[in-house]
A and B are shown apart, each in its own frame.
Chain A
Amino acid sequence: MLFTSIEFVGFLILVVALYYLVPRKIQWPLLLVFSYIFYYIADPRYLLFILVTTLSTYGISIVMENINNASKEYLAAHKAELSKEEKKAYKAGVKAKKWKWLLICLFLNIGILSVTKYTNFVINNINSFLNDTSKLQLVDMIVPMGISFYTFQTMGYIIDVYRGKQEAQRNPFKLALFVSFFPQLVQGPISRYGDLAPSLFAEHKFEEKTFTFGLYRLLWGYFKKVVIADRMLSAVTTLVQQPEVYSGTYVFVAMLFYAFELYCDFTGGIDITIGIAEMMGIKLAENFNLPYFSKNIKEYWNRWHITMGTWFTDYIFYPISVCGPMLKISKWSRNHLGEVIGKRVPVYLSSFVVWLTTGIWHGAAWNFIVWGLMNFVVIMISQELEPLYAKFHKRFSVKGKPLYEGFQIIRTILLMSAIRMFDCYRDVPLTFQMVGSMFTKCNPGIFTDGSLMQIGLTASDYIVLFIGLIIVLTVSILKVKVGSVREVLFAKPAFVYYAVMAVMFLVIMVFGAYGVGYDSSQFIYNQF
């Protein structure tokens, strides 16, 4: 059931209506039932996977918490008898026990994720490595919807329980809802239990402001998704699927189109998700903070897919940075390579692992792995060039000047968009070749000779896209200037507040690229 399908709209109306009609005590159980129905409709087989993840995480989190509690009791009971060393040894033993359970949980669930998503990727690479002397058969594997998202969310929870940062949820149904909450199941955001649980399980009474703010967010998401992203889809598909025809300046056009398509698709999808939750008083983590206003790549990654970035930082980057082997490498490199290089080695190695896994998480293809590593390379280079930038800024006093900031923003968009072309073309060499052709095969005549009318967009489509993107830009600037645009609207007379909402709805209805004649488009991030 696509978020953009009429069936989903019907499903949503039913869920939200029932949510406020049923006794408040059964609001969250109702969401659990409908989340499972949502998943069942997608494919009944998916339920098995999400159940295994939920039950294994539930069981192991309880075991770990029992170990925690027992150890606390033991230590409290034997406080006077135990020496410092004995206490330390006891704690180490307890940690080792919990570690074993954590490993079981991680192996099982990351294992499911890896097997379902990456088996055929591995088989393809083995076949390719063996030069097709041995031909392993590909496996007909189902990839459960949203498995990357719910696995990461659940693993974050179990690691927090292991670290003692999070109490285990003793109600298996509540944990099941945390894992399967239907709006975020499709493409995130990757929530932390501690952030989501309070509002997810709270009782909510209908409040005009909360409900309509959610509705506004939902409509804004649909506007970006169906009016802009889905309209651009046909052009991007045409341009990237026929690289022999569309090279040179066409690649530049494809790059920009894809940048805006992905932005509107992904942020639109997240707006829909957050909007649905908000309509029911549930607060989900923000996943974007105007990423296309970033002035460098590091900032961009702090603003784009925020919940994924912080997940990788908390659960991969930091643990690797401070793990035993890394501390040894750090010590060794400081001793042998000097302080300057030595202190960078652990950071770079940890970053490398983070970006490698980020690439792999995005998809079972070399394109994504290279995409991840390209990000790593660019971030490291820009970090190394920071002193040079500082000198430049000091010498020319450009820092903070609007024109220079504009240049920085455009540079970041272009650089990120170029790297993102690995999403588009069928393999890595072709991507390099096509991106290279932007510089070697310049054909700017396509902007004036009508060629851009032959790529699946009509003149009226271009007008809608132009106006649509101007609206997105204006709202983004307003957000920077006034904070919450919805608060500003809410302060206006009620008629204005609701009339703007109605206009948004009508615009989506008329100008949306949906229905017969349009490819019904899955959200791009569904596949990750």
Chain B
Amino acid sequence: MKNKRITAVFLVLILTLGSLYVLQRLLVPKYQTGIVEGSMVEEYYKDESDHEVLFIGDCEVYENFSTITLWEKYGITSYIRGSAQQLTWQSYYLLEDALKYETPKVVVFNVLALKYNEPQNEAYNRMSIDGMKWFMSKINNIKASMTEEENFIDYVFPLLRYHSRWSELTGDDFKHLFSKNLVTHNGYYMRVDSKAQSEFPDPRPLADYTLGEKAMGYMQKMVNLCKEKGIKIILIKAPTEYPHWYDEWDAQVVEFAKNNNVEYINYIPLQDEIGLDMSVDTYDAGLHLNTSGAEKMADYFGAYLKANYDLTDYRDNEKYVAIWQEKVDFYNAMKAQQYDELETYGELVSFGANAIED
């Protein structure tokens, strides 16, 4: 009798834990259509090849550099570990995490996020952190990133955070319960549509132009980590002009780069040299580059990397060619699909905001 009761308890316990697991898988956002940025961090672990160049940063990297162009034109293997509004400390912990799996020759960090010195937004935090594997880097990332309304335990058990999504479930949630599709091209987020850059509002004067201690501190940690591992780090400011990048901020990064003996390139004044035409090379009126712009940017940056860093051209290596051919095919297929949708509907329907399911 007693044994029967104990068996029942264990059986129910196992079923409950199983149900919790399935419910959690079901209720967490899948980020497979529409807002796909939440899938980016997780996708990195699916890419089993190594990379000589690792980009770290926010949308100014994952929308502005075509990793496929870097491969096709220069044989450079690269990956972008970026997510929406990725804060400097999140970049640091993602770098730390990535270095557990590989040691690239060059790390490229985009400095726009230095403008934020405090945790900003729960939704972006989740997109940047949820996809990380459970190591100390993730724990420290959560601790550094949480806003006041967040709890650490919600990251450990995402069901606690997303339980109320039961009324918003879509077909995607069931379809991608246990498997997800790739949404990026080695971290690059493709958008082929075009919307000419318009006038940006005048930058408002700031009371204090000093970049925050926390953000600068984490950039220092990034530099130190790279030096420790023998990796070259390049600081860049992507060529897009909005949000405004103040000269005062730029000067501080220049000073930082000089003090740390690392390279810093601000690409905003180099738009013409890169060949960017912001009337066609952006999909959202100048905030981010589209694929045409990202390919130009990658071409320009690839040439620079090739000339200044000791990178391998893997286009002669069969193993890499096989891996990258799949990526190129996927890239071209998505590109064709996006152009096709543009032609048919005048806009993208399976990508971006239009693809968000009701």
A-to-B contact residues, CB < 8 Å: 6, 208, 458, 460, 493-495, 497-499, 501-502, 505-506, 509-518
Name the one of A460, A509, A513, A516 contacting B159, with C-beta atoms under 8 angstroms: A509
List 20 A-B residue pairs with CB atoms under 8 Å apart, sorted by A's residue number. A6-B153, A458-B167, A460-B167, A493-B8, A495-B8, A497-B8, A498-B9, A498-B12, A501-B12, A502-B12, A502-B13, A506-B20, A509-B20, A509-B160, A511-B166, A512-B163, A513-B164, A514-B163, A516-B149, A517-B164
Tell me how far the C-beta of B38 lies from the nearest C-beta in chain A, rounded to whole angstroms: 16
Interface residues on B, range: 20 to 34
Q: Which residues of B contact A512 (CB under 8 A)?
A: 163
B213 at interface, CB cutoff 8 A: no
Q: Are A494 and B5 in contact (CB under 8 A)?
A: yes
Q: Are A510 and B8 in contact (CB under 8 A)?
A: no
Q: Which residues of A contact B163 (CB under 8 A)?
A: 509-512, 514-515
- Residue of A458, A495, A511, A513 ringed by the most chain B CB atoms within 10 A: A495
Contact, CB under 8 Å: A516 / B23: no
Q: Within the complex, what minimum Cβ distance (angstroms) separates A460 from chain B?
A: 4
User: Is B11 on the interface with A (CB-CB < 8 A)?
Assistant: yes
Does A502 lie within 8 Å of B15, measured CB to CB? yes
Q: Which 10 A-B pairs have the closest CB atoms?
A: A494-B8, A460-B167, A498-B12, A495-B8, A502-B16, A494-B5, A510-B163, A6-B153, A502-B12, A499-B12
By the criterion CB–CB under 8 Å, are A515 and B154 in contact? yes
Residues of chain A with a CB closer than 8 A to B164's CB: 513, 515, 517-518
Q: Tell me if B4 and A494 are in contact (CB < 8 A).
A: yes
**Does B27 count as interface, using CB distance less than 8 angstroms?**
yes
Known A-B contacts: A208-B5, A495-B8. Give 13 more (CB < 8 A): A498-B9, A501-B12, A502-B12, A509-B159, A509-B163, A510-B23, A511-B166, A513-B164, A515-B163, A516-B150, A516-B161, A517-B164, A518-B164
Contact B5 A510, beta carbon cutoff 8 Å: no
Q: Is B151's CB within 8 Å of the partner chain A? A: yes
Q: What are the residues of chain B within 8 A of A458 when measuring CB–CB?
A: 167
Bound together, the chains give a CA A512 to CA B163 distance in angstroms of 8
Chain B residues contacting A506 (CB-CB under 8 Å) are: 16, 19-20, 23
* Bound complex: CA A497 to CA B12 (Å): 10
Residue of B nearest to A493 (CB): B8
Bound complex: CA A509 to CA B13 (Å): 15
Separation of A509 and B8 alpha carbons in the complex (Å): 22
Report yes or no: B12 in contact with A516, Cβ–Cβ below 8 A: no
Check B4 against A510 for contact (C-beta < 8 Å).
Answer: no
Q: Chain B's nearest CB lies how many Å from the CB of A241? A: 22
Measured CA separation A208–B5 after assembly (Å): 10
Instruction: Give Cα A495–Cα B163 distance, bound, in whole angstroms.
Output: 26
B122 within 8 A of A: yes
* A498 near B153: Cβ-Cβ < 8 Å: no
Report A-chain residues with C-beta under 8 Å of the C-beta of B122.
Answer: 516
Distance in angstroms between the alpha carbons of A506 and B21 in the assembled complex? 11
In the complex, what's the smallest C-beta–C-beta distance from B358 to chain A, in angstroms?
Answer: 13
In the bound complex, CA of A77 to CA of B346 (Å): 109
B161-A515 in contact (CB<8A): yes
Q: Complex: how many Å from CA A506 to CA B15?
A: 11
**A178 → B minimal CB distance (Å):** 33
In the complex, A498 Cα to B11 Cα: how many Å?
9
**Could you say which residues of chain A place their CB within 8 Å of the CB of B27?**
510
| Chain B proximity of A186: nearest CB distance (Å) | 21
Given the interface contacts A6-B151, A6-B160, A516-B122, does A495 sit within 8 Å of B12 by beta carbon? Answer: yes
| C-alpha spacing A496/B9, complex, angstroms | 10
- Residues from chain A with Cβ under 8 Å of B19 in the complex: 502, 506
Q: B163 to nearest A CB, angstroms? A: 5
Cα–Cα distance between A359 and B9 once the two chains are bound (Å): 47
Residues of A within 8 A of B5 (CB): 208, 494
Partner of A509, one of B15, B23, B149, B150: B23
Chain A residue contacts of B153, Cβ below 8 A: 6
Contact bitstring B1-44, A, C-beta under 8 A = 1, else 0: 00011001101110110011001000100000000000000000
Contact B16 A510 (CB under 8 A): no
Q: Which residues of A contact B9 (CB under 8 A)?
A: 494, 498
Which among A497, A498, A505, A517 has the highest number of chain B CB atoms within 10 Å?
A498
